[in-house]
Each structure stands twice: as C-alpha cells, then as structure tokens.
Amino acid sequence: MDDEQRIAAGFAAGDEHCMEDVYLRWRPLVHSLARRSLGDDREAEDVTQQVFLAAWRGRGGFRPGPGGLGAWLTGITRHKVADALEARTRRARAATAAARAYEEFAPRPGARTPPAPEPERVLDRVLVLGELARLPSAQQRVIRLAFYGDLTQTQIAARTGLPLGTVKSHMRRALQVLRQSLEARPLPAAR
C-alpha cells in the first residue's frame, strides 16, 4: 500500500492524523481551483474550508477509485464553488432589488414626500417579500390582507369566505414560518 492509499484508508476510517495529511496534501489544489473559479482569495479560502469540512463529514461515502482522494475532493470543490457562485448571485440580486426599491422611495426634488427609508430597511423589505412568496397561497393571501390591506382577521374571513378559525390558523402558521426562515437567514453582505 503506497502512502496515498494509506492516507485515504485512514481518512475513510476517521483517523484525524490522516485528515491532517489529506488537508496538507490537497489544500493547495482545492484552494487553487476555488481561487481560479471565484476570482476572490477570501471566498476561495472559505470554500476550501467548506470542502474539507464536507469531506470529513462525508468520509463514509468516499470510495477509492480512479484519481483517488484528489478526484473526490475536486468533485466536492466543484459543488462548493457552484454554491458560492449561487450565493454571490443571490446577494447581487438582493442588493440590486434593494437599490431599485430605495430609488423608488427616494424623495423627488420639490415633492413633499416622507424621507426615504434607509437602505437596510429596504433590503429587509425585499427579504420579507421573498420569504412571503414562498408561503402557500392561502397563507400568503391572509398575511397580505392583514399587513398590506390593514384588515382584521374577522374582516379577512368575511372578505375571503374562510371560517375565522381557518384565517387565524393560516395567520399563525405563516407568521411562524416567516419568523423561522428570517431568523435562519443572515442579512446578505454587499460585495
């Protein structure tokens, strides 16, 4: 058994010393691939850490084959780079939407309008609207009528023809989902 096979076998078995060897041996390759794909050293370093963390957690799925551990790590790197590029795109879209919304609310010269909301509030609004769009349509409708239509639950029941208990259930479930998803989602950092 050569050195690479010994390291791969130890890694798959959960030997932490072999994990250190894997990191030292393949970190330059992983970082280089990430850096070339992302064009940003800091993002490449984050992806490199994610790759080795994912490899360690998923080591039970490693099967020696052509290319060995290096090929397996390269595959994980490709997936993590794709995730990073997708996250970058989401951040850019959110920032663009926030900028558009901010411009929409910016005061016009000579117009008597309330002061424009701060960019952070506009971005919060964009995130809330995005999460709201993920709700089932009945819950979305109840939330929109309550918050944008300024209707009480009784008024919503009368307008939609839904029983009051159903309106209350939709409202409660929707607010729980929104709270959980917004708490779990960090505010995107502008780059």
Residue range 131-145, pLDDT digits in tens: 888 888 888 899 889
Convert the pLDDT of each residue in 4-40 to its tens digit. Answer: 888 888 888 888 899 999 999 999 999 999 999 999 8
Does residue 9 lie within any of the structural domains? Answer: yes
pLDDT at 150: 86
pLDDT at 75: 93
Question: 37: domain range?
Answer: 3-90
pLDDT at 119: 65
38: CATH: 1.10.1740.10
**Residue numbers in the chain where pLDDT is lower than 70:** 1, 101-123, 185-191
Does residue 67 lie within any of the structural domains? Answer: yes
Per DSSP, which regions of 72-143 are E strands? none
Number of domains in the chain: 2
> Are residues 10 and 74 both part of a single domain?
yes
